[in-house]
Amino acid sequence: MLAASVAAACNTEDGAAIANMENCLEYSPLQFELVGHALVIGYAAQAAGFVYFAMTMNMTKGKNYQLSSIYGMIVMLSAFILLYNQWKAWEDNFMLNAEGMYTAVGSTLFSNGYRYLNWSIDVPLLLLQLVLVTGIDVGTGFSNKNLQVTSSGLLMIYLGYIGQFYENKDEAGPLIIFGVIGCVFYIIMLAIVIQCVNHAKTNLKTDTGKYKMQLVAGIFIVFWTIYPISYFMPLISYSAEGVVIRQFIYTVADVVSKVIYGIILTQICMDESDAAEKEEDAASVVAA
Ligand code: RET
């Protein structure tokens, strides 16, 4: 049985906008703890990533590469704060009842909306990192790559942010419409990303760098593309299992698309910096 306040926030007859599905379901201790653990490993990974980017910043040469590490650190810090708060909210908003199940307490609600707002910081920075490392010509005006990629990324996120207020399985129109339009901007963003990656594959000096750039493309195609599964989860499975799967997808996608992605980009920067240094050394030997 849901508390009266929670039942009211989950009422599907009051209009399309209702509380996120997390609040409207009951969880076994296993399900509840799995979600808690997913959130903790999520923020722990971001903290570890922060240390990695701070420690490796001076192992690359050139303004672009160091700026990429700074962007990485900002992403880690903001994701750490967000995921720590999500975990805290998860722990605070649910209580074990007499039947041994977890249900929402009802004083406040758990919301995934905070994630979306956090992405509006992280997604542009992750994309700008890519533009920096691929070394693509940024361009001017409307063909400016930074502008194109960040604006399509942001539109995708803000549409998703609005849509997630409507996790109503009886009136799913707004959730579907905002989600589908969000997917259109995602495809536009992905096309620009692939353009940057292709540029890097001809432009980078090292074969290891080129190979790692291919991995980066794979991360976008697989691990960015699973976020919408979590968004549409209320329609796929409005259940406690659905919540567990959704929060696990978020965690796996977050760790890969931010931490692992950043580490691979840093390695590309290191490979390229080493190659540039060797070239310089060889040139100075010839000159001498
Ligand atoms: C939404 C819903 C609308 C349709 C699409 C979505 C895609 C979201 C993505 C998010 C990526 C987030 C990352 C965060 C890192 O901090 C907004 C869920 C397509 C791809 C990489």
* Residues within a 6 A CB radius of ligand 1: 79, 119, 122-123, 126, 156-157, 159-160, 179, 182-183, 186, 224, 227-228, 231, 257-258
- Phi, psi dihedral angles at 231 (to 5 degrees): -60, -45
Asked if the structure places residue 118 within a domain, the reply is yes
Tell me, in angstroms, the distance from the centre of ligand 1 to residue 58's CA.
Answer: 31
Q: What is the pLDDT of residues 100-135, one digit of tens each?
A: 999 999 899 999 999 999 999 999 999 999 999 998
Identify the residue with better confidence: 288 or 232.
232
Asked if the structure places residue 21 within a domain, the reply is yes
Tell me, in angstroms, the distance from the centre of ligand 1 to residue 192's CA.
Answer: 16
Asked if the structure places residue 38 within a domain, the reply is yes
**In the structure encoding, which two tokens stand for residue 138, read together?**
């940024």
Compute the average pLDDT of residues 196-214.
Answer: 94
CB-CB neighbours of 246 under 10 Å: 24
Asked if the structure places residue 90 within a domain, the reply is yes
Cβ proximity of 171 and 16 under 8 Å: yes
Given the structure tokens 């956090």, which residue do they identify? 118
Mutate to test the pocket of ligand 1, among 186, 249, 259 (most ligand atoms within 8 A of CB): 186
**In the structure encoding, which two tokens stand for residue 269, read together?**
């920067």
Cβ proximity of 119 and 258 under 8 Å: no
Overall domain count for the chain: 1
- pLDDT of 277 reads 84
The number of residues making up the chain comes to 288
Task: Residue 61: give the domain boundaries.
Answer: 17-279
Asked if the structure places residue 284 within a domain, the reply is no
Can you say how many angstroms the Cα of residue 275 is from the centroid of all Cα atoms in its chain?
31
Given the structure tokens 């900002």, which residue do they identify? 74
Asked if the structure places residue 165 within a domain, the reply is yes
Burial 29-53 (b: 16+ CB within 10 A, else e): eebbebbbebbbbbbebbeebbebb
* Nearby residues of 285 by Cβ (< 8 Å), 6 or more positions away: none
- pLDDT of 281 reads 84
Cβ proximity of 110 and 90 under 8 Å: yes
Q: What is the pLDDT of residues 227-278, one digit of tens each?
A: 999 999 999 999 999 999 999 999 999 999 999 999 999 999 999 998 888 8
Mutate to test the pocket of ligand 1, among 82, 118, 128, 156 (most ligand atoms within 8 A of CB): 156
Band of residue 137 on the pLDDT scale cut at 50, 70, 90: confident
Q: What is the domain-level CATH number for residue 219?
A: 1.20.1070.10
Asked if the structure places residue 288 within a domain, the reply is no
Q: What is the pLDDT of residues 9-45, one digit of tens each?
A: 999 998 899 999 999 999 999 999 999 999 999 999 9
Asked if the structure places residue 164 within a domain, the reply is yes
Tell me, in angstroms, the distance from the centre of ligand 1 to residue 5's CA.
Answer: 30
Q: Say yes or no to pLDDT of 288 above 80.
A: no
Tell me, in angstroms, the distance from the centre of ligand 1 to residue 135's CA.
Answer: 25
